[in-house]
Structure 1
Amino acid sequence: MKIIDDKTYYKMSELVEQTKLSNHTISFYSKKGLLPNTLSTSKNMKYYPQITITVLNMIKYFKENLNFSIDYIKELFDYYQIDFNDRAELILQSIQMLSSEIRNPISKKDLDKELVNEAIKLDLIDDKEIYFKTEIEVLNVYAELRSYEIATELINEYVITSKKLAKLERQLSKKVLEKTGYLPEILVLNILNSFKPYIFNRQTIEEFKRLDYE
């Protein structure tokens, strides 16, 4: 670790130790444009900014847990214009990448106008010109749900509950940051990708089991 202009930098060997990735892999990611710019000293030694560890952990998570290819991760980084200077912003962008795959883009004008407007009004999707895979899946499910009278009530409760939970998550994250000065990006991704869906789906399963006894 080296302090240059009051900023922390790491050598390649330190990145390998911190992330458990090989120097070949890290160099490959750098050549693909997935890592922030390095700093070279007069001794021709390359140093990587501290945020590189966060970026590497993100890439590792996307590959190992979501089976994202490096080319697709590069597409995500380019689309969201990854900010290599702000760790908090980087974690926020990783959440966006996790929740909305940028595959199979469809123009708003090519979708059912009434369906899209209803979904926007219910706060299921954002109002924009291009929608991607996950958003289209949401629209398709909503198209099926809207034929049931209880659908709007159920969706409203989903949205209300998700907003309340999001505020609690933000408050908890703030407390963690205040206490430790650090919010592990992998913890955030694990909560979103596995822990939270498990908790919600577990309760849904329990409720559906009760149908057998009613």
Structure 2
Amino acid sequence: MKIIDEKPYYKMSELVEETQLSNHTISFYHKKGLLPNTVNTSRNMKYYPEITITVLNLIKYFKDNLSFSIDYIKELFDYYKIDFDDRAELILQSIQMISSEIKNPVFKKDLEKELLDEAIRLDLVDDREIYFKTEVEVLKVYKELRAYEISSQLIEEYVQTSKKLALLERELSTKVIEKTGYLPEVLVLDILNSFKPYIFNRHTIEEFKKDI
């Protein structure tokens, strides 16, 4: 590690050691525009800012756990205008990336207005001009629930319970920071992508079993 302008920077060999990715792979990601800018020394040695390790871990997670292609990850990075200067913001952006697929965009004007207005009021989706695949699927499920005359109150309770779960997730992360002074980005994604869905669905199955 080298200190440049009072900030830590890493050589390629150090990135390889920290992330277990090959020199070739890291160079490829850099050429694709997925990594922050490097600093070149007088010896023409290239140094990468510390946040590069976080970025590489996120890319590795997206590929290995979510089967995202490099081209799609690049598309995500461009859409969310990835912040390479703020690690906390970068982790937050990564949560957005795994929560909503930016595929098959649909303009707000092309969606059923009454349905969308209700979904926005119930806090199922945000109010914006373009919606993507995951959000359109949420609207589709909500429409089907309406067809069964599911009350808005029950949907509101579902959303409120989700918000309470989100607070617990934040508390889990806060406890990790209190213990270590550092929040592992992969742990955050594992809580959202594996830990939460498995536990929630496990207990949902138990509830359904009671009716059988």
Q: CA deviation at 1:4?
A: 1.4
Kindly report which structure 2 residues correspond to 1:1-214, keeping only aligned pairs within 5 A, or say none: 1-212=1-212
Q: Deviations over 1:1-23 (max 9, x none)?
A: 11112111111011111111100
Q: CA deviation at 1:165?
A: 1.7
Q: CA deviation at 1:174?
A: 2.6
Q: Report the Cα distance in structure 2 between the residues aligned to 1:55 and 1:158, rounded to whole angstroms.
A: 34
Q: Report the Cα distance in structure 1 between the residues aligned to 2:150 and 2:141, rounded to whole angstroms.
A: 14
Letter aligned with residue 78 of structure 1: D
Letter aligned with residue 182 of structure 2: Y
Q: CA deviation at 1:151?
A: 4.5
**Number of residue-to-residue matches in the alignment:** 212
Give TM-score, length-normalised by structure 1. Answer: 0.96
Give TM-score, length-normalised by structure 2. Answer: 0.97
Q: Deviations over 1:103-122 (max 9, x none)?
A: 00000100100110010011
Q: Deviations over 1:7-41 (max 9, x none)?
A: 11111011111111100000000000000000110
Q: Deviations over 1:127-172 (max 9, x none)?
A: 0000000000000111100122335233212210111122222233
Letter aligned with residue 47 of structure 2: Y
Letter aligned with residue 55 of structure 1: V
SS of equivalent to 1:146: helix
Q: Report the Cα distance in structure 1 between the residues aligned to 2:74 and 2:4, rounded to whole angstroms.
A: 29
Q: Report the Cα distance in structure 2 between the residues aligned to 1:202 and 1:169, rounded to whole angstroms.
A: 17
CA RMSD, aligned part only? Answer: 1.1
More displaced 10-residue stretch of structure 1: 129-138 or 147-156: 147-156
Q: Report the Cα distance in structure 2 between the residues aligned to 1:195 and 1:100, rounded to whole angstroms.
A: 18
Q: Report the Cα distance in structure 2 between the residues aligned to 1:12 and 1:160, rounded to whole angstroms.
A: 46
SS of equivalent to 1:8: strand
Q: Identity percentage over the alignment?
A: 80
More displaced 10-residue stretch of structure 1: 147-156 or 26-35: 147-156
SS of equivalent to 1:3: strand
Give 4+ residue runs of structure 1 displaced > 6 Å after superposition: none
Q: Deviations over 1:50-103 (max 9, x none)?
A: 000000000000011111110110000000000000000000000000101100
Letter aligned with residue 123 of structure 1: D
- The answer on whether the counterparts of 2:120 and 2:127 sit within 8 Å (CA) in structure 1 is yes
